[in-house]
Chains A and B, each alone.
Chain A
Amino acid sequence: MISMREAYEKIGANYDDACARLMGEEMLARFALKFLDDESMDKLEAAMAAGDAEGAFMAAHTLKGVSQNLGFDNLYEPAVVVTEALRGADAVDGAREGMHALQQQYAATMSALREAAE
């Protein structure tokens, strides 16, 4: 069990800024833990696998917005890369490289959040 602040620090996310924006620690913790149920990464991976560029763009865009709102800077940055690679694209290939970094950060974020949730 780690605190939410520790979880944020562990993954390189901006805790204080998110706290100030999202009505304090308690509320931030609630939202951050809700991220464990967020489906946008699943949707992104499924769309990538299916070669659905538009679906992948939507999912990446959502993931980008959510991570930005929660102050997951570590996740936001690779999400921007993937989103931009998919914007207006016909195929998903251009985003594969970026997906790697995104998946890595996503795994780290999820694991830190799970630790905080225990």
Chain B
Amino acid sequence: MLNNHEVNLTDEEAAAEVARVAKTYPVVRLLSADQIKSEPNCLLAGDRCPCLRQLSLEALADSDEVSEQLLNDGVEYRARLRPLKVEGEPRVLLMVRPIDEQEAAEEDLVYTDVLTSVRNRRYYEEKLRSARMKAGVAVIDLDDFRVFNDTCGRHAGDLALGAVATAIRSGIRSTDELVRYGCDKFVAVMPDIPSDDFARRLRQVSDAVRSAFIPGHEHVSLTACVGGVRIHGETVDEGVGRAVQLLSRTKAKAGTVVTDGDFIEAFQSEKPLVLIVDDSEMNRAILNEMLKDEYCILEADNGRTALDMVDRYGDELSLVLLDIVMPGVSGFEVLADLSRRSVVDNLPVIMISSEDSDDVVLRAYELGASDYISRPFDSRVVRRRVSNTIRLYAKQRRLTSLLSQQYNERVKNSRMLIDIMAGVMELRNGESGRHVTNIEKLTELLLGCLVQRSDTISLDNEERSTIALASALHDIGKMAIDDAILNKPGRLTSEEFEIMKTHTTIGADMLLELGCHHVGNALMEYAYQIARWHHERWDGKGYPDGLKGDDIPIAAQVVSVADVYDALTSVRVYKDAIPHKEAIQMILDGKCGTFNPLLLDCLLEVQDRIAETLARPADVVAFPTI
């Protein structure tokens, strides 16, 4: 194959080369510079085809082979322009053939994004970017995708992108072009689309993304901001640029859909709400004028009204601009109040004043202001600060909710597994199906009361529910106890009882071994304590270790009371159920061993709520008294 342009061919050799390539190319011409310049018609198909003249000249000048794809009469052709020297004269060998299916498929592959199967960036750069047309151009930008990727893993991120691409496809017409433009950005090009249909489809795209199903992460709902503009003969790239700009103006709110032109009105109502607090009407008017194009403005002329409005509008408010010196409730007092109630965690407050001494500025920041604008106002600075702050907070709000969503999902997952395990255990132990649930509820009730009564025990909400969850595994060691002993209808012999007692140490060992990959995990720690020590007693007469008093971890102490209560009030193979009141009295009287007096106080305090929460009407009817 002769493709080295440095090679100088003779006329005969050139003719042979033409004959050779003619076997694969139906159209082959060897052109001189003069021919390229002077031939009146298009080099390939007269005046009907996109001209290759310019390309031929380029090939001639650059001495590099040029390849081009062109459309003529509905057929796609591949044209190659190879520069050669024949008898010392520069020539261009023009070869054209229709693109067959295989080549089309290969090309398809080159232009397809591996993850999402839509067009890739290369396709955009080579085929779409400079195309001039009449079309709707939309940029679809996934919100917080990076966080999703980081928290759920790359694999999940890849799956999500695939799901999102499919979702977007479902919202646009099959003939529209869809490109993965960046990591988490897509571009859709919809030629000749009527503007109302364009806006409707963009909303469809947004909805479809929101309800996209991500395998393995069904709880996560991704959102995308969609910005659409219409081009009338401009290039697609110009359209994309405008759409990106449009989006950057609205990106504060996840899931926003915005188009230019007719539909800007619909978007107006989505403008973030900003509260301006200043006692001077003049100052409010100036700020209002500066911000009203981008935001919905509320005004308050004193601190009291401002606080009322913050309470009334709550989460709908995106930002407060707050003057410091006002009659009555001052700006500092408003800020202090919002700060005390943690409102400033989610609602940015920008302080305004001409009191620009360092002390005043510092005090504002210390009280929780996000930023500070000093007089005289400069519209450019005010606008930029407001929009930056709103964006930052909006992003933070979205991230927080995404993380808590995922956290809750994880808790839900561990809870599901524990429920299954507990269920299996109950089946084997022949206990009522509610034993585990009851113990969990009792544990939570007792813990809640305990932290209120005790000065030394501090367990936050999360720790308390972790302990309650761990209580489900208290009898896990019974798995290893012989059925004949476990479900023996009569009294256990002392030998059998010794075996029965080992369920505590066996359970603890199981958790230690099975949980060795989770060292330091709070749930595992509590489950271990509870499994091992839920039969210990305050006076040291329990088993397996004979621990005394507060040497018994508090989690195990609480579960031991809960366990005894539930055992008393439940039917067992060897006994009937004892009514609520009687059971409580038995525990208080020390009939089931000695417990922490503080815990007994708690039991007394919550006894009515226990009766309510664990109401078992069937038991009450069947066993009125014993």
Contacts and interface: CB of A to CB of B under 8 A. Distances in A.
Contacts of A34: 282, 285
Contacts of B125: none
Interface in A38-93: 38, 40, 55, 58, 61-62, 64-66, 68-71
Nearest to A21: B378
Nearest to A30: B289
Interface in B370-388: 375-380
A66 B379 contact: no
A71 B375 CA distance: 10
Contact of A58 (B279, B285, B353, B377): B279
B24 interface: no
Contacts of A40: 280
Nearest to B325: A61
Contacts of B289: 23, 27, 30-31
Nearest to B377: A69
Given A21-B378, A21-B379, A22-B377, A65 B354 contact: yes
Interface in B355-395: 375-380
Interface string B341-354: 00000000000011
Interface residues of A, number: 23
A61 B280 CA distance: 10
Interface in B46-60: none
Nearest to B323: A65
A70 B376 CA distance: 8
B379 A68 contact: no
Nearest to B289: A27
Task: Kindly name the residue among B286, B375, B377, B378 whose own CB sees the greatest number of chain A CB atoms within 10 A.
Answer: B286
Contacts of A69: 282-283, 286, 375-377
A104 to B, nearest CB: 21
B471 to A, nearest CB: 61
B228 to A, nearest CB: 29
A21 B289 CA distance: 12
A62 B376 contact: no
A69 to B, nearest CB: 5
Task: Kindly name the residue among A40, A62, A65, A70 whose own CB sees the greatest number of chain B CB atoms within 10 A.
Answer: A65
A23 B377 contact: no
B285 to A, nearest CB: 6
A64 B354 contact: yes
B280 A21 contact: no
Interface in B258-283: 279-283
Contacts of B282: 31, 34-35, 38, 66, 69-70
A66 to B, nearest CB: 5
Contacts of B336: none
Interface in A2-40: 18, 20-23, 27, 30-31, 34-35, 38, 40
B354 A68 contact: yes
B325 A31 contact: no
B290 interface: yes
Contacts of B327: 55, 58
Nearest to A35: B282
Interface string B285-326: 110011000000000000000000000000000000001011
Nearest to A59: B327
Task: Kindly name the residue among A22, A61, A64, A70 whose own CB sees the greatest number of chain B CB atoms within 10 A.
Answer: A61
**A-B pairs with the 6 shortest C-beta distances?**
A21-B378, A62-B280, A68-B376, A66-B282, A58-B327, A69-B376
26 contacts: A20-B378, A21-B377, A21-B380, A22-B286, A22-B377, A22-B379, A23-B290, A23-B379, A30-B289, A31-B282, A34-B285, A38-B281, A40-B280, A58-B279, A58-B326, A58-B327, A62-B279, A62-B280, A62-B283, A62-B325, A64-B354, A65-B323, A65-B354, A66-B280, A68-B354, A69-B377
